[in-house]
Amino acid sequence: MTGQDTPARVSATHIDMRWIVAGGDVIGQVINLPRPLPTALFSLPRPPARLAGRVAELEALLAELAPPTGDDTDTGSSPVGDTSAGVVVSAVAGMGGVGKTALVLAAGAIASYKEWFCAELYVDLRGYTPGQEALSAEAALDVLLRQMGVDAQEIPAEAGERASFYRSALAALSRADARNRPVLVVADNARSAAQVRPLLPGTGGHRLLSTTRGGLHALAGARHVDLDVLDSADSLALLAFALTAAHPQDARADDEAGLGRLAGVCGHLPLALEITAAQLARKPLLSPDTLSERLEKAVSRVDKIKDHGTDVERTRVLRAVFDTSLDQLTPEEVRVFLLVAAAPGPTTSTTAAAVLTGLDPDEAEEVLEELQAAHLLTQPATARWGAHDLLTDHVTTHPHPPKDRPQAMARLLDHYTATTSAADQHVRALPGQEVPGEFPDREAALEWLDAERATLVAAALAAPALGHPRAAVSLPLAMAYYLNHRRSFEDLEKVSASAQKAAHAVGDAHREASAWNNL
């Protein structure tokens, strides 16, 4: 050991070590003790402000969610965590845009208010998101286990073991609850029963709600709720509520004939009605009849298309509604929407959206909020933005994409690559080692990586098609240590395989070898 400035002071009883520093190599493993693991035991997204219609369907779901006693006012003594109680699985099915997620979240919000569950977990299985692979059952289990606060190092890599561990974790949550309440799991946008089956909880009275377009009839014992479009009265109520919520004295809310015609043009489809209602709310002088005429002309212009086997006519209506809604936006709002909705990943942060659009963060946030008010973007979490998969599908085929789209996507990928590299250096750093200033500490870097992981994986896989060979190699390599650290082996394999191909394509043998090494 060597002294600095002031030598160590030695007395008969002790040595003053304050001025002593270690020199040479440290022999042994350096362990960074983490903070306590965060949990997200109540992770359901915000429910809709108002659920139009669906009274019978909502009551049916609540009946399935309620404690076995049927007494929804007794939250202290119902034996809902009794291990003899069976698991109830409910599958809500219907075409895209019919309001499946809204119904499930409304039911979840009521159950939360009544305190029926000790935890409410949520995972988007992304079964219908254009340009993205559906979430595998293993990845979905990983999401749910992390919400329960399970350390990544403890999550089994093998699929069957992970499912068993998940069921044990649910049971442990219920046992730890003072009232032994069960857990509610919501699996949104399931494409197949194979995605959902490993998520089935064990015994203990747990509940699983899932949404799907095609039905989950292969799930034995599942209770099925099929949604169709709204009836005329509920469609009219949805439009009127949206108008009075924005302008309490809006006389158009009393125009039953005009709103009825508009609802009919929208095919009584909730997503189309919500977007159309937002157009009316943004344009106080726009009459329902005028908007109906615009929509009718737009429908006649839309070519017949297919949308995952759903009704062609309703799909044409949705495309017409999207096009008409874009016509009501400013050119800058249109540009931002077309860029953000086409960005890789399930969601985009406000910071990333600002980089993508080239706007100041405050300006970007203002535009994003306007797009949310227009029901074109959603905000599933604070400072994160997404779009309905039907809107994303429409954006990818839009005939007039922004002229600066290639440059915008390049900026976004550069941002992801640089920030991931900085976070990677923090995660790898030994105590006292210099690190970039983007993050205050290792924990902050890990928090950012955890929040962005799904988006970063999607960006890494999209980089080759977006014409960014450098990011196609650098971003996956920058993520590799983190993904291995979090035991996200499925994502690690996908991005590393993509990086290997990209590096080979540009003749970068060194980084191709690095990618191979990560496989």
Kindly report, residue by residue over 183-238, the tens digit of the pLDDT. 999 999 999 999 999 999 988 899 999 999 987 888 888 899 999 999 999 999 99
Q: How far is 212 from 280, CA to CA, in rounded Å?
A: 30
DSSP state of 415: H
- Whole domain around residue 247: which residue ranges? 232-327
Kindly report, residue by residue over 265-305, the tens digit of the pLDDT. 999 999 999 999 999 999 999 999 999 999 999 888 775 55
309, 355 Cβ separation under 8 angstroms: no
- Count the residues in the chain: 519
Could you tell me if 318 and 362 lie in one domain? no
| Tokens linked to 293 | 């005429």
Binned at pLDDT 50, 70 and 90, residue 81 comes out as very low
336, 367 Cβ separation under 8 angstroms: yes
Kindly report, residue by residue over 154-184, the tens digit of the pLDDT. 999 888 999 999 999 999 999 999 999 999 9
Binned at pLDDT 50, 70 and 90, residue 4 comes out as very low
Higher-confidence position of 445 and 151: 445
Boundary of a domain, candidates 339, 373, 396: 396
348 sits in which H/E element: strand 348-349
What percent of the chain has pLDDT above 90?
A: 68
- Of 391, 364, 389, 365, residue with least CA distance to 376: 391
Of 81-90, 164-173, 394-403, the poorest mean pLDDT is in: 81-90
* Angle between the N-to-C axes of helices 361-373 and 270-282, in degrees from 0 to 180, rounded to the nearest 10: 120
The answer on pLDDT for 40 being more than 70 is yes
Please report whether residue 467 resides in a domain: yes
Could you tell me if 254 and 372 lie in one domain? no
Please report whether residue 50 resides in a domain: no
| pLDDT for res 72 | 47
DSSP secondary structure of 80-142 = TT-TTSPPEEEEEE--TTSSHHHHHHHHHHHHHHTT--SEEEEEE--TT-TTSPPPPHHHHHH
- Of 190, 147, 193, residue with least CA distance to 170: 147
Kindly report, residue by residue over 459-472, the tens digit of the pLDDT. 999 999 999 999 99
Please report whether residue 217 resides in a domain: yes
Could you tell me if 99 and 210 lie in one domain? yes
Binned at pLDDT 50, 70 and 90, residue 312 comes out as low
Could you tell me if 384 and 487 lie in one domain? no
| pLDDT for res 58 | 95
| pLDDT for res 52 | 85
Could you tell me if 316 and 436 lie in one domain? no
Which of 62-71, 310-319, 396-405 is predicted most confidently?
A: 396-405
Boundary of a domain, candidates 206, 226, 246: 226
Q: How far is 155 from 163, CA to CA, in rounded Å?
A: 10
Please report whether residue 10 resides in a domain: no
Query: Any idea which residue has 């009219």 for tokens?
Result: 236
Could you tell me if 270 and 380 lie in one domain? no
Kindly report, residue by residue over 124-163, the tens digit of the pLDDT. 999 988 878 899 999 999 999 999 999 888 999 888 999 9
- State the average pLDDT for the chain: 87
| pLDDT for res 2 | 43
Please report whether residue 110 resides in a domain: yes
What percent of the chain has pLDDT above 70?
A: 87
3-state secondary structure (DSSP) of residue 210: strand
| pLDDT for res 28 | 56
| pLDDT for res 219 | 84
CATH number, domain with residue 202: 3.40.50.300
Domains contained in the chain, number: 4
Of 68-77, 188-197, 454-463, the poorest mean pLDDT is in: 68-77
**Residue 105, Cβ neighbours under 10 Å: how many?**
21
Could you tell me if 369 and 485 lie in one domain? no
346, 386 Cβ separation under 8 angstroms: yes
The answer on pLDDT for 422 being more than 60 is yes
Boundary of a domain, candidates 346, 374, 396: 396
Kindly report, residue by residue over 18-39, the tens digit of the pLDDT. 444 445 555 555 444 444 555 6
Phi, psi dihedral angles at 269 (to 5 degrees): -85, 125
Q: How far is 20 from 18, CA to CA, in rounded Å?
A: 6
| pLDDT for res 142 | 93
Q: Please, what's the b/e burial string for 258-295 (b: 16 or more CB within 10 A of its CB; e: otherwise)?
A: bbbbbbebbbbbbbbbbbbbbbbbeeeeeebeebbebb
Could you tell me if 65 and 207 lie in one domain? yes
Could you tell me if 186 and 296 lie in one domain? no
Could you tell me if 280 and 350 lie in one domain? no
Could you tell me if 204 and 111 lie in one domain? yes
Could you tell me if 298 and 387 lie in one domain? no
